[in-house]
Amino acid sequence: MAKKADLLEKAQELKLEVTAKNTIAEIEAAIAGAENHEVREAVVAKAGKRSDKAIKEAEVKAEKEARKESGDTTPQGDAEHHERRGPAPRVRPLVERRGKKYREAVAKVEKDKVYSLTDALKLAVETSTTKFDASVEIHVRLGVDPRQADQNIRATVTLPNGTGKSIRVAVFAPEADHAKAKKAGADVVGDEEFMKLLDKETIDFDVLIATPAYMPKLGKYARLLGPKGLMPNPKSGTVAADVVKAVTEAKAGKVEYRVDKQATIHLSVGKVSFGAVKLEENARTFFASLQSQKPSSLKNVFIKSTAIATTMGPGIKVEAVTN
């Protein structure tokens, strides 16, 4: 019994749930299990518990976070502090990276000067840098919001001297209008045969004119013609019952202009070979048409800025043109 009493006393020290009702063998087994458990806890844990290595890693990580929050970026330990040596690399301006002809043309344009329309067109002709007959383009930034239906500017204008481009006109109309359209100068005329060409996605024209009765037949080709800007539209004058008049106007230099998402209009008003006088006639005709499109609900400035440039040539700032 003395042995059992000693075992019970030791079990109490280990806080084991055993009593005098338990046998000596049971008490010894409980004490042995408790002692083995203590030995296992003393060993560094490998999985599922925080080992000495894990504790050290946590301390290092906490130290890094503290330095990061305080903005301390000095190198620690064996890390080397890399400093940029020597002068900073020199980046040349964009103009200096352009060709010789372009740089010579830019030198003729005063950077901050706003030219009159007449002077700007003369300078544009002088600063053309291409070997081919370059187009002269007008870029107008408007004070409209294109998301508003009444401010989404879209119209057509017939330039008195044409655009200088050879326009191929296609007419989609009944057979009764084919001969008239051909006589007026249409390059492609047809109805069922024309639809077969569209089925093959064959597009060899720049302007498509259709009669109102034939517009429903073009509905299934909207995805083909729409992105290319070839879908007939009453606002652009390409949906017309009088195909002869529509073809004549298209061949004579009737062009469509519309505001883009950035509230800007881009339009070519001719070629460099036209000369400054003819280009000015075309430009003033365009500005007169644009002024007539000013929305009545617009309270801001209608024309914010204007620039003129030739193909691959420098931009020239132009003062507001009013009529």
The answer to whether residue 25 is domain-embedded is: yes
Tokens of 9: 């006393």
Tokens of 276: 């400054």
The answer to whether residue 57 is domain-embedded is: yes
Q: What does the pLDDT read at residue 218?
A: 86
- CA 174 – CA 192 distance, rounded (Å): 9
Q: Indicate whether 175 and 310 sit together in one domain.
A: no
- CA 10 – CA 80 distance, rounded (Å): 59
- CA 178 – CA 195 distance, rounded (Å): 15
Of the candidates 190, 147, 186, the one whose C-alpha atom is nearest the C-alpha of residue 167 is 186
End-to-end CA distance of the chain: 125
The answer to whether residue 41 is domain-embedded is: yes
Mean pLDDT of 242-263: 87
Tell me, what DSSP letter sits at residue 319? Answer: P
CATH number at residue 142: 3.30.190.20
Q: Indicate whether 172 and 156 sit together in one domain.
A: no
Q: Strand locations in 4-102, DSSP E?
A: none
- CA 270 – CA 49 distance, rounded (Å): 81
Q: E strand or H helix at 30, and its extent?
A: helix 24-42
The answer to whether residue 48 is domain-embedded is: yes
Using the structure block, give the residue that is written with the tokens 């009529």. 323
**Other C-beta atoms lying within 10 Å of the C-beta of residue 199:** 11
Predicted confidence (pLDDT) at residue 150 exceeds the cutoff of 80 = yes
CATH number at residue 177: 3.40.50.790
Q: Indicate whether 116 and 172 sit together in one domain.
A: no
Q: What does the pLDDT read at residue 59?
A: 85
Q: What does the pLDDT read at residue 45?
A: 47
Using the structure block, give the residue that is written with the tokens 């906490």. 62
Q: What does the pLDDT read at residue 286?
A: 93
Q: Indicate whether 188 and 154 sit together in one domain.
A: no
CA angle 215, 217, 221 (to 5 degrees): 95
Query: How many domains does the chain fold into?
Result: 3
Phi, psi of 54 (to 5 degrees): -65, -40
> What percent of the chain shows pLDDT beyond 70?
89
Q: Indicate whether 138 and 274 sit together in one domain.
A: yes
The answer to whether residue 99 is domain-embedded is: no
Using the structure block, give the residue that is written with the tokens 């007939």. 232
> Confidence class of residue 120 from pLDDT cuts 50, 70 and 90?
very high
- CA 248 – CA 188 distance, rounded (Å): 14
Q: Indicate whether 58 and 202 sit together in one domain.
A: no
Of 201, 220, 252, the residue at which a domain comes to its end is 252
The answer to whether residue 83 is domain-embedded is: no
Of 201, 233, 252, the residue at which a domain comes to its end is 252
Higher pLDDT, 72 or 280: 280
Of 252, 274, 307, the residue at which a domain comes to its end is 252
Tell me, what DSSP letter sits at residue 220? Answer: G
Q: Indicate whether 180 and 203 sit together in one domain.
A: yes
Q: Indicate whether 322 and 181 sit together in one domain.
A: no
Mean pLDDT of 107-119: 89
Q: Indicate whether 229 and 246 sit together in one domain.
A: yes
* Structural domain that includes position 154: 110-163+253-323
The answer to whether residue 244 is domain-embedded is: yes
Q: Indicate whether 178 and 230 sit together in one domain.
A: yes
Q: Indicate whether 159 and 277 sit together in one domain.
A: yes
Q: Indicate whether 179 and 246 sit together in one domain.
A: yes
Helix residue ranges, H only, the chain: 2-13, 24-42, 52-70, 100-107, 117-126, 178-184, 192-199, 222-225, 243-252, 276-292
Cβ partners under 8 Å of residue 209, min gap 6: 169, 170, 171, 172, 173, 181, 186, 232, 238, 239, 240, 243, 246, 247, 250
Predicted confidence (pLDDT) at residue 12 exceeds the cutoff of 70 = yes
> Confidence class of residue 89 from pLDDT cuts 50, 70 and 90?
confident
The answer to whether residue 102 is domain-embedded is: no
Q: Are 159 and 255 in contact (CB under 8 A)?
A: yes
